[in-house]
Structure 1
């Protein structure tokens, strides 16, 4: 039987630097220690639920608990990575992260991996994906070459995968209760009267150039008839605008001006006089 003939290679095997070897050993020891600690100090579910409920009562978390962006002419909403990270913290014995496995500047893309791992139950969720070094703009796709732009693009794309990985290993009932409590916190508005919250919302949006009438057109009712749900929705929209997930123009389109309004009601036709009898 013919045996394969090994082909000699002039290239020496790549050596691992001392710093890399030390980091690999440290990471392995850290993972082993995390497993041991998780087995010796298992989570207290009742304490985790109590801490989750207390966290979701905080206005600061509730305002960042949801995302909102436009896709294909529709609006997509859901729980944000900020809520996912907080729930992972209070649930305990959970590790998560984002790793850039490979960057290819010739092809203009990075290979990333997002993961979440429940060390106590050994439940793990991970996904490997490609992030092109491009950003969508109103004028089309823009190639990214600056290192900071590439880093921020990778982090933004990876955050969504980390969020889904965390939610995949947490109990669904735990996540759903947290979302409902955050919604309730937004509707309560920190104990402020509804009229005060409406006034604050109008003032906040005026700071980014959105007038009250544009908000009223979007909600299809005057500010005097806004509900707690309306104000809560406005808070989510404002935070999404701040994070760049949506634009103010998309959420609050400027009212169209008719031809009569532009000409002051003058159409250019001569006025007609009544026929004399």
Structure 2
């Protein structure tokens, strides 16, 4: 029997795996059942947008959540600001029927990298956003450059930190932009005005005390804000909250936000002049000891 040339030289299909572990099969079945149940529940209980807005307002009027809603760090000499992963997760919880997660698809210890996937899925509208990316098992610092990570815990933390940024963007993709902006405005107002339980003077004192615990003086804060502490506004206090949280999370260093004061050469000379006396007191008379006229320094005479 003759066959067409295309069929004679067609590549053989790859053999399918003939063995699937019991644990893998159970996990696959569980994942499928979980997704099916989530979709059914989302259709039976659709979101109430008015209730979702009210839940969001209540959540971001809390000072603790508002303080963890923004990040700030220095890159290339300029400040980078944005919303944190905690902000995105809380927004997804308030909106409802949002399924999101981060998974490690593959780990290659020889190549030193992990293949990760971040996704967010609106079960009600069936809108899904996902991204797959590679995370190297290394950490880069300004002093030591790139350092290979060998400890499994260090690898896990690196994957989680890199994946959190992608997960945040995936959640923002499936959420309405107006919902996100409204939550951002409420959180900012909460930071600026506080919860209304303390006067501004007390909030200023608390801010100074908190930064002093990090080794930052009030003079450095006043220099950064460009005004004395008694003239700080609510916006200044809100900005200090973001800086303090970023310092606590290690996103920015103290010297980056509050550079040490530079001392000029003239100031050093002036300080040396005022601190060093022109003459030494005599041990015998208690008065200034004078050089003999013939024994002045540089005259070559012996005293």
Query: What TM-score does the superposition give when structure 2 sets the normalisation length?
Result: 0.84
The secondary structure found in structure 1 opposite 2:194 is helix
Shift of the alpha carbon at 1:135? 1.3
Of 126, 130, 135, 1:126 maps to 130
Is 1:22 the equivalent of 2:20?
no
The secondary structure found in structure 2 opposite 1:89 is helix
In the aligned structure 2, how far is the partner of 1:231 from the partner of 1:114?
A: 35
Shift of the alpha carbon at 1:266? 4.6
In the aligned structure 2, how far is the partner of 1:222 from the partner of 1:134?
A: 43
Of 48, 55, 60, 1:51 maps to 55
**Is the CA contact 1:260–1:266 (under 8 Å) kept in the aligned structure 2?**
no
The match for 1:146 is 151
The match for 1:246 is 252
- Equivalent runs, 1:38-117 vs 2, <5 Å: 38-117=42-121
**Is the CA contact 1:66–1:80 (under 8 Å) kept in the aligned structure 2?**
yes
In the aligned structure 1, how far is the partner of 2:134 from the partner of 2:56?
A: 34
The match for 1:157 is 162
The secondary structure found in structure 1 opposite 2:260 is coil
Residues 101-124 of structure 1: CA deviation (Å, up to 9, x unaligned): 111111111111110000000011
- Equivalent runs, 1:115-264 vs 2, <5 Å: 115-139=119-143, 140-191=145-196, 192-264=198-270
The secondary structure found in structure 2 opposite 1:154 is helix
Shift of the alpha carbon at 1:265? 4.0
Shift of the alpha carbon at 1:258? 1.5
Q: Give the stretch that moved more between structures: 176-185 or 212-221.
A: 212-221
Query: What TM-score does the superposition give when structure 1 sets the normalisation length?
Result: 0.91
Q: Give the stretch that moved more between structures: 211-220 or 19-28.
A: 211-220
Supply the RMSD in Å over aligned alpha carbons.
Answer: 2.0
Larger Rg: 2
